[in-house]
Amino acid sequence: MTKLSFFLGCIAPNRYPGIEISTKKVMEKLDVELEDLEGASCCPAPGVFRSFDKTTWLSMASRNVTLSEEMGNDLLTVCNGCFGSLVDANLLLKEDDALREDVNKMLSEVGHEFKGTQDVRHIIEYLFQEVGVEKVKNAVINPLDLKVAVHYGCHLVKPSKERHLGSAENPTFFDELVEATGATSVDYEDKMACCGAGGGARTAVLETTLHMATNKLDHMVAAGVDCVVNACPFCHLQLDVGQTEIKKTFGKEYGMPVLHYSQLLGLAMGFTPEELGIDLNFVENSKFIERIRGGAK
């Protein structure tokens, strides 16, 4: 059985634990063993911390990667932000000897050394490239009759030079994984658009970023989808909590269910919405949940 260190980050364990438990459940069914990356911290959030101080970003990010090295596993994240932060730090330190030496001087003060022996993986690209769509399909016992708006988010595919996942403007790998659950990935306008959360923008100019989320949600509604499926707890938060903020700020109500891919796949594997924490969103999801129950027999 393949083993990976499960890096939690901040938003999944501390706001959307449904994503954490769903990831554990679906990976077990796919014969991937997850070991908790104990003592990990914030990745740290790339847009914010790289905006503040590069050394700080690198020291914290490299410590997280080092913990995974010490366990002898590649690191798994379920978050685009953590992926961006940790992949970039890992690559940079593997390639740049001088930088690695500097960072290791800092890490030695806390008993660690970055060796560059492991890789950083994101659940979506890992499922696509290592587990494979076929195996995911074979694990489905409850094919989902759902129309889905797939939201890739930005840092899963960009910067594409470092991601090696093909086209950043028109990728298909996430859609293929969604369709493996029986659901239909419905195309919608400006599908690759940013949700607005990243780069510290949500913190700096919330209302402006809510306009971005509104644009996305409008396009999804226009395409007639049942829910949005994402690859990132921060996008998840911007699209879910964001809906409650949009209601307050602009008086607009969507009632759009927001699911992380691990939750969608969990449904298709026969877990209940409650077991996957789909009922624990900030937007009320009960109609959607009833519909799933009706379909799930």
Q: Which residues bind to another protein, rule: CB under 8 A?
A: 8, 10-11, 13-15, 17-18, 20-21, 36-42, 44-56, 59-60, 63, 106-107, 109-112, 154-155, 158-160, 168-169, 193-194, 196-201, 203-205, 208-209, 211-212, 215, 275, 277, 280
Of residues 184 and 272, the one with the C-beta less far from another protein: 272
Residue type, 61: A
Minimal distance, residue 261 CB to another protein, in Å: 18
Peptide bond into 13 cis (omega under 30): no
Of residues 47 and 257, the one with the C-beta less far from another protein: 47
Minimal distance, residue 203 CB to another protein, in Å: 5
- What is the layout of strands, in order, in the sheet containing 74-77? 32-36, 2-6, 74-77, 120-122
Of residues 193 and 296, the one with the C-beta less far from another protein: 193
Of residues 10 and 223, the one with the C-beta less far from another protein: 10
Of residues 148 and 277, the one with the C-beta less far from another protein: 277
In whole angstroms, give the CA distance from residue 119 to residue 109.
24
Contact 39, 50 (CB under 8 A): no
In three-state form (DSSP H/G/I as H, E/B as E, the rest C), the secondary structure along 61-76 is HHHHHHHHHHHCCEEE
Minimal distance, residue 56 CB to another protein, in Å: 4
Minimal distance, residue 36 CB to another protein, in Å: 4
What does each C-alpha distance from 129 to 11, 74, 290, 292 come to in angstroms? 25, 14, 34, 29
User: Which tokens in the block code for residue 155?
Assistant: 């840092």
Minimal distance, residue 95 CB to another protein, in Å: 10
Residue type, 173: F
Of residues 110 and 297, the one with the C-beta less far from another protein: 110
Minimal distance, residue 276 CB to another protein, in Å: 8
Of residues 183 and 232, the one with the C-beta less far from another protein: 232
List, in order, residues 6 or more apart from 232 with CB less than 8 Å away: 78, 79, 80, 81, 153, 155, 156, 260
Phi, psi at 151, each rounded to 5° = -115, 105
**Strand boundaries in 211-291, DSSP class E:** 227-230, 258-260
Minimal distance, residue 118 CB to another protein, in Å: 18
Q: How many residues does the chain have?
A: 297
257 secondary structure, DSSP code = -
Of residues 205 and 224, the one with the C-beta less far from another protein: 205
Minimal distance, residue 146 CB to another protein, in Å: 22
List, in order, residues 6 or more apart from 97 with CB less than 8 Å away: none
